[in-house]
Structure 1
Amino acid sequence: MNPLIAEFLGTALLVLLGDGVVANVILNKTKGQNSGLIVIAFGWAMAVFVAVFCVAAYSGAHINPAVTIALAVAGKFPWASVPGYVAAQMLGGMFGAFLMWFMYRKHFENTDCPDTKLAVFCTGPAIRSLPGNLASEVIATFVLVFAVLHMVSPKVSLGAMDALPVGLLVLGIGVSLGGTTGYAMSPARDLAPRIMHAILPIPGKRDSDWGYSWVPVIGSLVGAVLAAAFYLNPLH
């Protein structure tokens, strides 16, 4: 499989399953309604596991622009390949969000709360305080990427590692650090589905909260670069 197709497919699987578990928990009249944060955290962990397992052999399964950039900063991935990977990841995230909406469209129709509909697609803060929200995203992404850099093969990618450890890593971050902003840790997981929320014909939806949208993007990128820089620090 072409690496860019693999990144598209892997990120689509990630968002389909990850946003899918959120839809299952918070939309009306689903089988999993009100099953709680632990189910969401576990579902996202399994989404990462499935995505990495399926495409690691072809692209390294970055499935996250922040991871791709961090690997490039750490010298484990060529900078020339970064734009193509990021584009494939963003498009994959949009497609995965579309598939999730298509599957749950009747449940969106049966859900009245516009905030709930938005929350299926993208993250939002439990307490809105942009500096604190930004710090939360930086810290969560730092933990993700710093751990990933220690799991990764010294060659170029995540391909040499098993899929399960990174899934468990995301589960740990979710249950420990997910209570403030929802731990986006990736523009492809947050911005790409947010764009789909804006353009899909969802009845009764609200705006896509563009005033907050920069927080998970900037926070994840800053956290990833800081993790790479700390990883490269000779004192480490």
Structure 2
Amino acid sequence: MRFDIISVQPDLLLSPLGHSIVKRAQNKGLVEIHIHDLRQFAINKYGQVDDYAFGGGAGMVMMIEPIAKCINNLQAERTYDAVIYMTPDGETLRQPLVNRLSLLQNVIILCGHYKGVDERVRQKYITYEISIGDYVLSGGELGAAVLTDAIIRLIPGVLNDESSALTDSFQDGLLAPPVYTRPADYEGMKVPDILLSGDTPKVEQWRFEQAIARTRQRRPDLLE
């Protein structure tokens, strides 16, 4: 899968997309991540990519011309399955959406900044508008990193044990159950006996019941 991420602050993406599982996925050749500095497509030699909003008001707006030039250049090289805009007023990112996006091959992600992009960008180019939560960040880069990470871990071959992703929270509409490892007894705090029994069907039943209980306690909205 290929990700082309468009940003006015490309350095913000280097660390979160250059380590751990995401880095290993790139080293295996399962994923390509290309970060594009929008200022390379600026309208003048000063690197301008934003301007004041028509109608007045505080804040700057990302201009359509640099964004259009960058997207057009990318689309001239290959076909993209989606052009995603990271924005606070987009669809809230949830696991079912991540699952769908993980089936795509080529994706462009546009990171919003300032007061956002000229509305005509959204009308002409954008196929998905995504938010990672009901709050505002300084820009869309961290949201793009979150989205990219969430997608990449679902790509076959990325995780050493592919079943791991299938048992994560939200995959079945529930939160994950409690997990334990050695030692079995730490200062009198013992691992539940069922997990030491070796009885796989009973262990799975226990995990399912715990997942329901935890979801009911912490995220009852998921059960609805």
The structure with the greater share of residues assigned to helix is: 1
So what's the TM-score if we normalise by structure 1? 0.26
So what's the TM-score if we normalise by structure 2? 0.26
Structure having the higher Rg? 2
The structure with the greater share of residues assigned to strand is: 2
